Structure 1
């Protein structure tokens, strides 16, 4: 009882009433650390004399964090929290993994694990950094690699398809047509410089 009266008198002298620490809707983000620190310091002092007063101060600090945190989330502009992309080290690891494994199965779950993120968080961060979803980026890399191989080698389309991670020549042809509105063989003939390779499957009507 005496301790409680002592604390009440001390609070009245300093102006530190419980209302001065009540969570306010207009609190500034920059002021939050000091407000919370003040509450916890009061709780620490009160713990020596009045446990119930200390608990009340701690509860006020918790309420402040909860209320102001929710307010800041609600006030955020749409999409603001999802603008963060991948860190440079994450992008380097992703690029290296894709470069080494483009001819095989590349799963988004594996990429997320490399970046040490959940799949949903990774997908959002990836789109922010690369401008597209992971699967679209992977497909784009495979198509670009296929075009490079079509111009730089005499490999038939079937082998190029497998080397670029497509299941077969038909898969490559289908994706290529969707992306460039032209078949792989037609594109190859239009863009070859010098002598055309002897085995570009030009006679195959299915892929012409």
Structure 2
């Protein structure tokens, strides 16, 4: 309470107030007394995935809208849960990751606007981008190659990879892996399928390959994730 931005001294902070700062944002603050802050940094890749998945828009068109001392009860509850978790414990680290994804999704849905003064060049046509999203989602359980996706757009692999990254905000292989892992998390949360079957349904060649990729992304095995999420 009593904290404010130098540019806006009339707007004072308070418990549960939120600030949103777009990439490249700069600001100066005056802090009066003791203060405890929780910062969540959103990577370009996570922002891009949210824009494509939740808004069906190209990430380069959009940015988080700046906000100072915003009231958002849902987000405040998530942040308060986040700061109580012990991130040194694998199970609680997984819960923290899940909460962070909920915070990011909420921000993308409620705090995103058009990037000002942007003139789009290159990239895939919106109709092609949607077709690719639908095709990938429908075939996550199958091998999907760069050549196969490029052929659907009548482009060379090199040109397609460049245009895909322009429109999706990340390379094809990273996008595909992210969607496979997202599907895996859904299956682990909602069902009792054996881990080997989950791996196959998400397009991983084997349970060990699935486990390695999952551990790299989440810092825990699929089995640990299932146990942590279900409490």
TM-score, normalising length: structure 2: 0.47
Unaligned 5+ segments in structure 1 are: 1-81, 194-208
Identify the match of residue 153 of structure 1 among 191, 203, 213. 191
- Give the structure with the larger helix fraction: 1
- Name the CA distance, whole Å, in 1 between partners of 2:189 and 2:121: 38
Q: Which residue of 2 aligns with 1:78?
A: none
Runs of 4+ aligned structure 1 residues displaced above 4 Å come to none
Q: Which residue of 2 aligns with 1:204?
A: none
Q: Which residue of 2 aligns with 1:89?
A: 127
- Give the structure with the larger strand fraction: 2
Q: Which residue of 2 aligns with 1:108?
A: 146
TM-fit CA distance, 1:138: 0.6
- Name the CA distance, whole Å, in 2 between partners of 1:120 and 1:151: 37
Q: Which residue of 2 aligns with 1:128?
A: 166
Aligned-residue CA RMSD (Å) = 1.5
TM-score, normalising length: structure 1: 0.52
Larger radius of gyration: 1
Q: Which residue of 1 aligns with 2:227?
A: 189
Find out whether 1:174 has 2:212 as its counterpart: yes
The alignment covers a number of residue pairs equal to: 112
- Name the CA distance, whole Å, in 2 between partners of 1:191 and 1:83: 42
Greater relative contact order (CA < 8 Å, ≥ 6 in sequence): 2
Contact 1:93 1:115 in 2 (8 A): no
- CA deviation map 1:130-169 (0-9, x unaligned): 1111011111110010000001111011100001000111
